Amino acid sequence: MLLLTGCGGARDATGTGGSAAADGAAIDGSITVFAAASLTGTFTDLARRFEDGHPGAEVRLTFAGSSDLVTQIIEGAPADVFASADTRTMQQVSDEGLLAGTAVDFATNTLQLAVPPDNPAGISSLADAARPGVKTVVCAEQVPCGVAAAAVTGAEGVDLDPVSEESSVTDVLGKVTSGEADAGLVYGTDVRAAGGSVLGIDLAEAGAGVTTYPITALAESPEGATAQAFVDFVTGPEGRAVLTAAGFGAP
């Protein structure tokens, strides 16, 4: 868990009990945000910005694969906001009656091949990543980036034989940056955030595996107004600007 502390004031926001302006609910207290691993950089930034604008508010961030986060939420882990890397995992939480309202789509993402800077395997396409002897890593099928990978490989007619399947996209990227893999299927935003530690190779059928990110406050949150205020912040103009700068697409 990444703990971020800071300050923030009150503003109008709709929580589980209605509008902060209408019921006098303050935008303060501590909230825990469960977010997909691919949101690590942007949500760390957004949490700090939110706290700067709301004295008394604290945002605690937990990042992991969306499917792992769903399991934790359903099993009762305390969380106030959930930001998933696909609508399927959000629907699982909705089916359990755990959403405070309707989830809002706030970003999209597509996959790239990440390779080491010197690209020792000479990879220039998804077909190259499927060559015998090439060590390629992907996300597990139950993880959103794994679902996207299956869609893209299917669209390109490529049958990958990965050396490992990871539980989050950041784990896939870590295999590439550490030199354990010749290539990994990750989101384009992860390639951008990694800077010069990897090279990104565009995929011909990346559009076949577009990932849509939804966010919502959770029904059991004791800080409903603050949780909803954070959701509104992420989906508002400042949140949109931060996401765009990181390479995320509009929903």
- Give the span between the Cα atoms of 140 and 172, in whole angstroms: 10
Q: Residue 250 carries which DSSP code? A: P
Tokens of 20: 């902060």
Residue 176 falls in which region: left (phi positive, over 0), alpha (psi -120 to 50) or beta? alpha
* Residues in binding site: 38, 66, 169, 187
- Give the span between the Cα atoms of 186 and 113, in whole angstroms: 6
Helix (H, G, I), strand (E, B) or coil at 8: strand
* Residues in binding site for molybdate: 38, 66, 169, 187
Q: Is 80 exposed, middle or buried (0-12, 13-18, 19+ CB in 10 A)?
A: buried
Helix (H, G, I), strand (E, B) or coil at 14: strand
Residue 156 near residue 204, CB atoms below 8 Å: yes
Measured at the CA of 29, the angle between CA 87 and CA 27, to 5 degrees, comes to 75
Per-residue CA distances from 45 to 31, 50, 72 (Å): 16, 9, 24
Tokens of 136: 């390629």
